[in-house]
Structure formats: C-alpha cells, structure tokens
C-alpha cells in the first residue's frame, strides 16, 4: 500500500532523524488497534536522498521466511529507487532487534545487491523512540554476513523477476502514453465539433438577421463581428440561392 507524505513531512532524507520523524507521524496516524500490530514499511529514494515512495509491505506478525524479497523490492524497481530504508515498529515498545529482524535485513541486503539497490538502514520504531541498525553497527555486521548469500539459481530467479517487473513498468508507461494521446485526440475532436457548432450558429444568426432586413453594420454591432465576415456569409447565401433557383428552372 502506497503511503502519501503530508505537507509537514520532509520529502528528502538526510539522516535517520528524518526517517523517524516521517515514520513516527505515519505510525501515529494509525488507529489504536492497528498501532498494536507490527508494520513493515520501506522508503525508496534516489541517490540524492529524495523520497520516491513509502510502501507498507506487511501488517501483522512477520518472519524472515514469510517475506518474499521481490515483493519487497517490486516498487523500488518500478520507481527506479537506488537506495531504500526498511522500517518496522515494535508494539511492545522494545527497541531490541530480534534474530528474525536481523535475518530479514540480511536477506534483503543480499537481494538488494543483485538488483543494485542499496539497503542503507533498518529502523525499529515506537511512538516515542527508535533504533537504527546503521547507528548500532548492525548493518556493518550484516553486510559482511554470508548466511543468505544466494545460489546461482536464486540469483537467476531474482533477475528473472526483475526483468518481469521492468516489462510491467514499461507496459504501464506505454499505456499511460496511449491514454494521454487518446485524451488529446478526444479533446481536439471535441474542440473541432464545438468550433463547427459555433460557426454554424453564427452563420444561421447572420442569415436570420439579414432576412429581417437588418443592415450589415447593425448585424456586426449585434454579433460583435466584422462587416467583412457578414458580407462573406451573405455572398455565400446569394450564391446558394442562385444555384437553387437555376436548378428549379
């Protein structure tokens, strides 16, 4: 689920304090029942730290084995994020990372390397405080871990999923372009129809006023158009009437 930032929130990340300030407000937005559940979020950024998205990945108790890495990184690939931060809350109020927290981080570091997306930090948050894996040197330790180094087959599967997501992204972009083209075409056709309608209305009005023996000068004043334009319509009318008269004879 995509989470939108408010006007109060910063739209770029300079450090862990910025991450916590944003995520604390997001956590406090939740109703009391949901605050008592574990949430797993990911923030995706470009290289400069500008936030591209915030995604709620999981709600409720989660384990390393339950987290599908490509589902976690799907939006990151779609949005061309080069850096991501993982965040989850502990409803108990404890900021001590569990073995499962470390395992999830370890796995995602390895998958991020294959995708060239850096997992820069993992924050555990409560409504009042937070712990940063990076600040606690846990990220340094996990980045050296070989526990979840993927096999060749796993790497190939991850890359296959990445290609699939890239194709989906391209299809979405193409559909968006097509929709914009269709919208532009429809707008042009609508404008053309409206222009023709107004032209016909103006033409009929000139003829009606002329047939009531109103002078060309007065018609121009009434309709706010030039006498030259009126004269052109009258000439066309006379030609049509002449042709009609000639045909009848």
Over the stretch 74-95, which tens digit does the pLDDT of each residue have? 999 999 999 999 999 998 899 9
| Two tokens, residue 150 | 């993927």
Longest dimension (CA), the chain: 104
Tell me, yes or no, whether 25 and 104 share the same domain: yes
Section 145-161 average pLDDT:
83
Q: What is the pLDDT of residue 61?
A: 62
Give per-residue pLDDT as tens, 28-59.
887 665 777 889 999 999 999 999 999 999 88
Mean pLDDT over each residue of the chain, to the nearest integer: 87
Tell me, yes or no, whether 104 and 24 share the same domain: yes
CA gap 14, 20 in Å, rounded: 11
Number of compact structural domains in the chain: 2
The SS3 assignment for 7 reads coil
Tell me, yes or no, whether 110 and 34 share the same domain: yes
CA gap 127, 238 in Å, rounded: 84
Q: What is the pLDDT of residue 48?
A: 93
Tell me, yes or no, whether 40 and 96 share the same domain: yes
Alpha helix (H) residue ranges in the chain: 16-29, 32-35, 69-78, 99-115, 138-143, 152-211, 216-223, 227-248
Tell me, yes or no, whether 232 and 146 share the same domain: no
Q: Considering only residues 173 and 246, tell me which one the structure prediction assigns the higher pLDDT.
A: 173
Asked if residue 194 belongs to a domain, the reply is: yes
Question: In this prediction, what percent of the chain has a pLDDT beyond 70?
Answer: 92
| Two tokens, residue 219 | 């018609």
Section 207-222 average pLDDT:
88
Asked if residue 185 belongs to a domain, the reply is: no
Strand order through the sheet with 83-89? 51-59, 39-45, 83-89, 118-125, 130-132
User: What is residue 135's DSSP assignment?
Assistant: T
CA gap 92, 126 in Å, rounded: 8
Asked if residue 33 belongs to a domain, the reply is: yes
Section 98-114 average pLDDT:
93
Q: What is the CATH number of the domain that holds 130?
A: 3.40.140.10
What's the pLDDT band for 65 if we cut at 50, 70, 90? Answer: very low
CA gap 91, 125 in Å, rounded: 9
Tell me, yes or no, whether 91 and 199 share the same domain: no
Q: What is the number of other CB atoms lying within 10 angstroms of the CB of residue 47?
A: 9
Last residue of a domain, one of 101, 124, 150: 150
Q: What is the pLDDT of residue 17?
A: 94
Question: In this prediction, what percent of the chain has a pLDDT beyond 90?
Answer: 41
How buried is 190 (Cβ within 10 angstroms: 0-12 exposed, 13-18 middle, 19+ buried)?
exposed
Q: What is the pLDDT of residue 243?
A: 59
Q: What are the DSSP calls for 200-229, one per residue?
A: HHHHHHHHHHHHTT--HHHHHHHHT--HHH
Domain hosting residue 79, numbered range: 16-150
Tell me, yes or no, whether 238 and 126 share the same domain: no
Q: Are strands 39-45 and 83-89 parallel, antiparallel or unpaired?
A: antiparallel
Range of lowest pLDDT (151-155, 216-220, 228-232, 241-245):
241-245
In Å, what is the CA distance from 232 to each residue of 60, 97, 204, 214, 228? Answer: 76, 85, 13, 16, 6
- Length of the chain (residues): 249
| Two tokens, residue 77 | 């690939």
Section 92-104 average pLDDT:
92
Q: What is the pLDDT of residue 64?
A: 44
Q: What is the pLDDT of residue 248?
A: 55
What's the pLDDT band for 123 if we cut at 50, 70, 90? Answer: very high
Last residue of a domain, one of 119, 150, 181: 150
């Amino acid at each position: 689920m995509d989470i939108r930032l408010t006007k109060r929130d910063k739209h770029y990340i300079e450090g862990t304090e910025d991450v916590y300030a944003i995520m604390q407000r997001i956590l406090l937005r939740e109703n009391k029942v949901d605050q008592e559940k574990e949430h797993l979020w990911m923030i995706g950024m470009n290289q400069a730290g500008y936030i591209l998205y915030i995604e709620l990945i999981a709600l409720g108790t989660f384990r390393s084995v339950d987290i599908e890495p490509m589902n976690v990184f799907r939006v990151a690939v779609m949005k061309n994020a080069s850096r991501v931060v993982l965040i989850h809350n502990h409803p108990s109020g404890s900021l001590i990372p569990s073995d499962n927290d470390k395992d999830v981080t370890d796995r995602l570091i390895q998958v991020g390397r294959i995708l060239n997306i850096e997992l820069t930090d993992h924050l555990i948050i409560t409504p009042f405080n937070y712990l940063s894996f990076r600040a606690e040197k846990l990220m340094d330790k996990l980045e050296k871990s070989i526990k979840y180094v993927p096999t060749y087959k796993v790497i190939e599967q991850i890359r296959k999923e990445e290609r699939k997501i890239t194709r989906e992204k391209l299809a979405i972009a193409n559909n968006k372009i097509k929709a914009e083209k269709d919208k532009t075409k429809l707008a042009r056709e609508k404008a053309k129809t409206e222009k023709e309608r107004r032209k016909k209305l103006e033409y009929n009005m000139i003829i009606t006023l002329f047939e009531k023996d109103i002078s060309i000068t007065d018609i121009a004043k009434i309709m706010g158009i030039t006498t030259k334009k009126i004269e052109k319509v009258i000439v066309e009318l006379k030609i049509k009437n002449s042709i009609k008269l000639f045909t009848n004879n």
